[in-house]
Structure 1
């Protein structure tokens, strides 16, 4: 197993155990024992990944904390603007361009396109990513049981495209996505298949800064369809590009994280990690000022 995959596997199991036993507030030793590594190794592993202790991490995914974050996100435009470009870890949020295929291109199901794909390790487990010369057209978190499904689904969506493995070209995208501070500041292009309504929803998701959360109702209001909450939920669930189009930042109005296409546990990991990064940045900025 790749080191990054091994680390995330241990971290995911720890998060699952911490959440399940939140009332008992397990000690660091108990959590380390649960994931079968030493307390010292676990503490270092979790701190390097999240930047905070497991106990602090748990606070970021509680309903009370998340409800406060929802109240902060009543205006997505202002929220995105206030995030600015002050942080390198968030900078790629502001450098994404999303393009929808034309109706004719949708009918032709990718005819004439060459799609390269690869499987890569990330801080949140293995991902599948596929891209054309015009941009990323698919991304998903996977495990051994879902790898083949992603290829089948890609072939179904882009039936007449030439689909080929190319780890080298897709690795470059993965570096830009998960290590934005070391990557290019050129726009990260996305090429997606979707209805006009879906595109509006996905564009609205791109306005949610890292560390923030919003609700399905707020997204519906943002795109001018306040009564289309159920349709918004469907569009969020149909997001073809995981993580980059941050559908994981949409939660229930009660502060409950809810389900996630790539696993509710991974959603907890994503939300908690992003909140920890934001707090770390604000703390660092406060000390610098």
Structure 2
């Protein structure tokens, strides 16, 4: 398990190196790379890498490679999927994280979105997360957006502001950090209110995403069958892509029908890291 003593600042600082290591191990696990090779992929000494990787992922690099190999051996050939992606896709279901079990979401009227945010007031801010710096957009009703600050903080904010260009914004990084602590280091069962600004169709798809257990994955086709019909896979893909609240509304758990990790608004590297983080915690 990822330990509570591992602060958000530390996990955010380590994200890029761990994501590079996860990518390296995902591409090379079949050759069982040794600790030195894995450490080089992260630009760290073997001893330091072993400690940082184990803290972030929740298991040692050796156990992580073993988990990939085990899962792939069980399912990849039957599924016909890419071996790495099939490893994430098989056998990783388990108890949901506390914040997944207790999320409370509140829909807001489509008229609010149609007015491009006119008359709305948001607080935004930046705080560390296990997946790098996160940008939060907070309305009086709850969290309206959670994104990641790539390539920089201002670009991350502009990505969110483009959704509601007529709204008023004020920055408060201290408030953002409070939300980060509440989301990424949950200590109680209080609901996390989400103010979802979107069309009825989008909100229907986003609610379906909330039903995917932590550590599990699904496909766009399966989501489409749940909310409508398999023929609506493309429309589901568009709604998933418009998800404004990363991590809490877990669009990272949706894969292509062949089990591959597909494009993710905040980067496939981050998507892979999220799945690994959840798998270790399940």
TM-score band, normalised by the shorter chain?
A: 0.7 to 0.9
1:156 aligned onto 2:156: no
Deviations 1:16-64 (A, max 9, x none): 2222333432111111133232211111111111121224334168234
1:15 aligned onto 2:37: no
Contact 1:57 1:273 in 2 (8 A): no
1:57 aligned onto 2:64: yes
Q: C-alpha displacement at 1:188, in angstroms?
A: 0.9
Q: Aligned to 1:112, what secondary structure does the other structure show?
A: coil
Contact 2:243 2:249 in 1 (8 A): yes
1:119 aligned onto 2:126: yes
Which residue of 2 is the match for residue 283 of structure 1?
A: none
Q: Aligned to 1:21, what secondary structure does the other structure show?
A: helix
Q: C-alpha displacement at 1:176, in angstroms?
A: 1.1
- Which consecutive residues of structure 2, in runs of 5 or more, have no partner in the other structure? 1-8, 72-82
Contact 2:19 2:269 in 1 (8 A): yes
Equivalences, count: 259
* Cα root mean square deviation, aligned: 2.1
How does 1:1-289 map onto structure 2 within 5 Å?
A: 3-58=10-65, 59=68, 62-69=84-91, 83=95, 90-143=97-150, 145-180=151-186, 182=187, 184-278=188-282
* Mean Cα deviation higher: 5-14 or 208-217: 5-14
Assess, with a 3 A threshold, how the Cα gap between structure 1 residues 228 and 146 changes in structure 2: closer, same or farther: farther
Q: C-alpha displacement at 1:173, in angstroms?
A: 1.1
Contact 1:129 1:136 in 2 (8 A): yes
Contact 2:149 2:157 in 1 (8 A): no
Could you state the TM-score of these two structures normalised by the residue count of structure 1?
0.82
Contact 1:258 1:264 in 2 (8 A): yes
Contact 1:260 1:267 in 2 (8 A): yes
In the aligned structure 2, how far is the partner of 1:238 from the partner of 1:257? 17
Contact 2:39 2:45 in 1 (8 A): yes
In the aligned structure 2, how far is the partner of 1:171 from the partner of 1:67? 32
Contact 1:67 1:254 in 2 (8 A): no
